[in-house]
Amino acid sequence: MALTRRQALGRIAAVGGTKAVASAMAALGLGPSGDLQPQPLKLPSDLGHGSKVLVLGAGIAGLVAAFELKRAGFCVEVLEARNRVGGKNWTLRKGERVENMDGRRQSVNLSEGLYFNAGPARIPSQHRTLLNYCAELGVELEVLINSSHSALLMPDLNQSPFTVRQALNDTRGHISGLLATSIKGHALDSTLDAEERSRLLQFLRNYGDLSEALAYEGSARAGHLKVSDVPQSVLDDKSPLALEHLLHSDMWDELLLCEFPEYSPTMFQPVGGMDRIVEAFYQRLTKEVHLGAEVQKISQCTDHVNVTWRDGDAGRLQTSQAHFVISTLPFPLLANIDTDFSDAVLSVVRSARHGHATKVAWQSERFWERDDRIFGGISWLNHPARMLWYPSDRLNSPQGVLVAGYFFGKGAKAFSDTSFNEQYSVSTSAVELLHPGASGKDKSLISATLGTYLFCR
């Protein structure tokens, strides 16, 4: 029986993944061609003809929508419930206050000039549209170091941590040695001819830094003291890690993350904090954005939409009318607003739930740079905190902001519900495991859970 187009694409996806099915769809004329690249949105400047659009929410989606519609000739009004723009793109600095929906509050005590990106913190080089906006709006960028070979790994809390450098190179050496042994033992004779086996052995000798006997005995690449003319200060007199200590699938899930295009070098961050992006948009929309405007009701009429909102400053209800409304509100917030949406739409809106992701940040002296020569990147450990994320800004300066725990996925909701002191305790234990003695140093802590905070004043 002939396959339907849908069945054929399903089988292609099962075998070749999303890239294969995307290419197949392009070949069939069902999707974008791989030759096409994202282009800046260039709406005609007179497209709007003065038509009014209400944008609900001044997060990055709302600000971009308002920015593009305004220069396309629309009359734009943006309603934002908080007293700040940015939504989840939220950078905390000295003097700000975090108020959670459960009533808990924190004050930010970071030193002047330091900041904590409580929300997004990385810009992949593949995010062309955002990079184009940064260039257009004059947002200065700097390199974000997402991976460092000097960072630490601790897949087994009963074993000492080791560096990413050791993990990558010792694993490469062990696997190369095992494959070389298989070739010498004629295990691949039926697969490779004599010339191919010879060439593969030469490759493995270089790839795994094997000895003349094609055994892995350690490598200067891994930091082992192997070459006599290399200064002692550069290498450590350590034996290679045993292969059994490297066979942790969770560890490799984290290490290989940086092989995916969106997490691989080169990555960027705005100089001074991620909110530099939303501030750049806001500077061009100050007259259009109403802060402290909580939407209460959305009513659709024949040729317009009415939106009733509470003015946080005046304390009274107001109604704005527009030809169109764009809602960028998270569905759990939209579900609490009085609307006349269809039952089908309401069912979808009400089914959504907030995700939970908590970052715990420390301001501290840069012990990770001074003691372990870790400049940027991420250390991973088999612990509820999961990671220590080292800052990429102000390298080699006295103080920095360390993300000492990023809690997401399974267990994230339960963690976000614990007290701040309990969260700080879990974070402290992770730091102590990877950097013994460092957790007792003077520090200022802040915890932020996306989806649970209300306002930052």
Tens of pLDDT, residues 435-457: 999 987 767 888 888 655 544 33
Query: Does residue 12 surpass a pLDDT of 70?
Result: no
Per-residue pLDDT, 457: 37
pLDDT of 9 higher than 70:
no
> pLDDT band at 1, cuts 50/70/90?
very low
Reported confidence tier of residue 174, pLDDT bands at 50, 70, 90: very high
Q: Write out pLDDT tens, residues 274-305.
A: 999 999 999 999 999 999 999 999 999 999 99
CA dihedral 146, 154, 426, 109 (to 10 degrees): -30
Indicate whether 11 pLDDT > 60.
Answer: no
101 or 347: whose pLDDT is higher? Answer: 347
Mean pLDDT of the chain: 89
Predicted confidence at residue 308, as pLDDT, reads: 98
pLDDT for residue 401 is more than 70: yes
pLDDT the model gives residue 455: 41
Q: Specify the pLDDT at position 326.
A: 98
Percent of the chain with pLDDT over 70: 87
Q: Which fold has domain 173-247?
A: de novo design (two linked rop proteins) (1.20.1440)
pLDDT digits (tens, 9 = 90+) for 32-90: 555 556 677 888 889 998 899 999 999 999 999 999 999 999 999 999 999 999 999 99
Of residues 183 and 235, the one with the higher pLDDT is 183
**Residue 232 predicted with pLDDT over 90:** no
Fold of 91-149+264-276+354-456: Polyamine Oxidase; Chain A, domain 2 (3.90.660)
Q: What is the pLDDT of residue 353?
A: 86
What is the model's pLDDT at position 22? 64
The pLDDT tens digits for 249-283 are 999 999 999 999 999 999 999 999 999 999 999 99
Sorted by where each begins, the domain ranges of the chain are 1-36, 91-149+264-276+354-456, 173-247
3-state secondary structure string across the chain: CCCCHHHHHHHHHHHHHHHHHHHHHHHCCCCCCCCCCCCCCCCCCCCCCCCEEEEECCEHHHHHHHHHHHHCCCEEEEEECCCCCECCCCEECCCCEEEECCCCEEECCCCCCCCEECCCCCEECCCHHHHHHHHHHCCCEEEECCCCCCCEEECCCCCCCEEHHHHHHHHHHHHHHHHHHHHHCCCCCCCCCHHHHHHHHHHHHHHCCCCCCCCCCCCHHHCECCCCCCCCCCCECCCCCCHHHCCCHHHHHHHHHHHCHHHCCCEEEECCCCHHHHHHHHHCCCCCEEECEEEEEEEECCCCEEEEEEECCCCCEEEEEECEEEECCCHHHHCCCEECCCHHHHHHHHHCCCCCEEEEEEEEECHHHHHHCCCCCEEEECCCCCEEECCCCCCCCCEEEEEEEEEECCCHHHHHHCCHHHHHHHHHHHHHHHCCCHHHCCCEEEEEEECCEEEEC
- Does 24 have pLDDT greater than 70? no
